[in-house]
Copies of this chain bind each other. A is one copy, B any other.
């Protein structure tokens, strides 16, 4: 927890917050704060600054906050990801949040096991938890949006084109001939398949909509490594986001 992430409900006046949940435990047990200590704080989807501990005990901490700074720039990268195994999903959601992704679409695909959609980790609450952990790690306040699309065909036919808007459209595909482009538009929509890849029908749906199939080389990456790797390589070209990915 590199950032104390505050919610609107924490505020008892314009510059005072009271903290009671796992964040209080962290203040007490992990970083062992005392009155007078200051730490980095931010308001979810708001400013970043500092918080000074006024009082703290095992029930509640009261802090004075000053949040005049701004969150770091987001990445103008829409991620479309075939739903990974639930255990891996948690780490991937944290990693993408840490890297600055703000828009994630988890989609069905032929090689995504149907049972994954029943996982408790896909509840809004569990997803939210991972996003918060990512923001606290990265010192960011802007909460990513995660959308679920269990059925590939309606997603590809009815939603994908709008989601990608006027961004550069890329789909990672192990057998593609092209590498990651060294130049892209100001925004990118990147699709990454499941372990084993998208099937030809699915790749066709992407390419019909102007998605260029790109390869990361001869190595077969895990989805987790592929996500961090592709995002990091594309991030070099991306301007910090000054406008929405969608047009």
Residues of A whose CB lies within 8 Å of any CB of B are 2, 72-73, 94-95, 98-100, 137-140, 180, 182, 217-222, 224-225, 228-233, 235-236
**Chain B residues near A139 (CB, 8 Å)?**
218-220
Q: How far is the CA of A224 from the CA of B180 in the complex (A)?
A: 22
Which of B72, B94, B218, B224 is in CB contact (< 8 Å) with A219?
B72
Q: How far is the CA of A144 from the CA of B231 in the complex (A)?
A: 25
**Chain B residues near A219 (CB, 8 Å)?**
72, 98-100, 138-140
A-B contact pairs, 19 of them (CB 8 A): A95-B222, A95-B224, A98-B219, A98-B222, A98-B225, A99-B219, A99-B229, A100-B219, A137-B222, A138-B220, A139-B219, A180-B236, A182-B236, A228-B229, A228-B232, A229-B232, A232-B232, A233-B233, A233-B235
In the assembled complex, how far is the CB of residue A109 from the closest CB belonging to chain B, in whole angstroms? 18
In the assembled complex, how far is the CB of residue A143 from the closest CB belonging to chain B, in whole angstroms? 15
**Chain B residues near A232 (CB, 8 Å)?**
228-230, 232-233
In the assembled complex, how far is the CB of residue A193 from the closest CB belonging to chain B, in whole angstroms? 15
CB closest residue in chain B, given A218: B72
Indicate whether A221 sits within 8 Å of B72 (C-beta atoms), given known contacts A228-B228, A232-B228, A233-B236. no
Q: How far is the CA of A11 from the CA of B164 in the complex (A)?
A: 52
Q: Which of A220, A230, A233 has the most CB of B within 10 A?
A: A220
Closest 10 CB pairs of A and B: A228-B228, A229-B232, A72-B218, A138-B219, A232-B232, A2-B220, A95-B225, A232-B233, A98-B225, A139-B220
Which of B137, B222, B229, B235 is in CB contact (< 8 Å) with A220?
B137
**Additional A-B contacts beyond A98-B221, A228-B229 (5; CB < 8 A):** A95-B222, A95-B225, A98-B220, A98-B225, A99-B221
Indicate whether A99 sits within 8 Å of B218 (C-beta atoms), given known contacts A232-B233, A233-B236. no
In the assembled complex, how far is the CB of residue A103 from the closest CB belonging to chain B, in whole angstroms? 17
